Structure 1
Amino acid sequence: MMRRQHGFTLVEILIALSIGALLISLVYGAVRIGQRSTTALIDQTGDNEVMRIGWQFTHDALTRALPIPSRDNSDDKTLFIGNPDRVQFVADMPAYVGIGGLMQIELGINASPKGEQLVLTRQHFDKATASATAETAQQAVLVDELDGFDVRYFGATDIGVAPSWQSDWPSQVILPNLIQIKVTPKDGEPWPLLVARPLTGTVPLDDEIQPDEGGLQ
């Protein structure tokens, strides 16, 4: 009687290879899912940090906005530009923000190959010439792909005029009492509503004003 030789048949080898390939595929898929989850979490954390820092800087700058007379236009006493999609002003910023002293700050929409970006620009402001210094300009992209951006202003546009919410700030004599900004990224949750109150150059209000939620819908 012949003994059966020890070893594996071709069928057994093929079955083992198939099982091994299946296990490798499952492990690789799990690793890929884990990598995508980690990447998404890192991206979300980065976006949240940009939002927090950008929003804090913008709020602090708006509260420090100053009325600076224009050298070119005697009627312009503020150098404040307020539109629905852009706000520009001069603020006295503390040294810890990087460039201390007077700075011209602009928050608005810029076009990009991807669509619209929300860009924050700051540059040193020379009070002697009443103009910004271009070589000190610094830009930061707060939102790479923007779905919605709206700025509204509350106050009296002139002495004796009743204060109200407006989409533009036409007054060149005084600053608005409140600036409200709403930002919605293309792929993400809307940012917290920002409401800032300039501390100087405004008309005193008797009553506390609530954010204009309805006007931003």
Structure 2
Amino acid sequence: CAMAQRDLKRLIAYTSISHLGFCLVGLFSLTAEGLTGASLQMLNHGLSTGGLFLLVGMIYERAHRRGVSDFGDLASTAPRLTFFFAFVLLASIGLPGLNGFVGEMMSLAGMARVSLPLAAGGVVGTVLAAAYALPAFQEVFWAPAGSFSATPKMTDLRVDERAILWTLAVLILWLGVYPQPMIDLLEPALTPLVASR
């Protein structure tokens, strides 16, 4: 169960499965909105889940640990890392204005045209994703230090790491605020699928 997971990398793997669940919701709706949402969600999955795995890797590179309870108060020693982790995590759980929201909502809107109960189940999935991801984030970055003393070994992001993460953050924000160019790119390929239904 994701809520009982104590390894950061495995926790991110659960968010990955959650994203792919939204892809299936959109695909199985066989509606224009659902298929477009599923396609967007695949792209968003690559950005947000890839970003989260990258950030966990940066933590592991510094501390050689991934356990949620091994850390605590990383926000005081690595504020930039904290900012990027929070930003990408919020995108991953579908915060409005970030990339994850658009794909999830379009997938759910497509499914709502076919089955409201299944669409409601997708909404529950969004709430559950926040319920297991946010407490882990809080424990790692804001709670009192755990069994591993993070202060002496943890350093904040290097310039090259920040450059990579800023690029990722811009893409996440752009696809959340202005997804229309990507939707326009996807729709011609998806229209024949809907028409053949």
Same fold (TM over 0.5): no
Higher-RCO chain (CA-CA 8 Å, sequence separation at least 6): 2
Q: Greater Rg, structure 1 or structure 2?
A: 1
TM-score calculated relative to the size of structure 1? 0.27
Structure with a larger share of its residues in helix? 2
| TM-score, structure 2 as length reference | 0.29
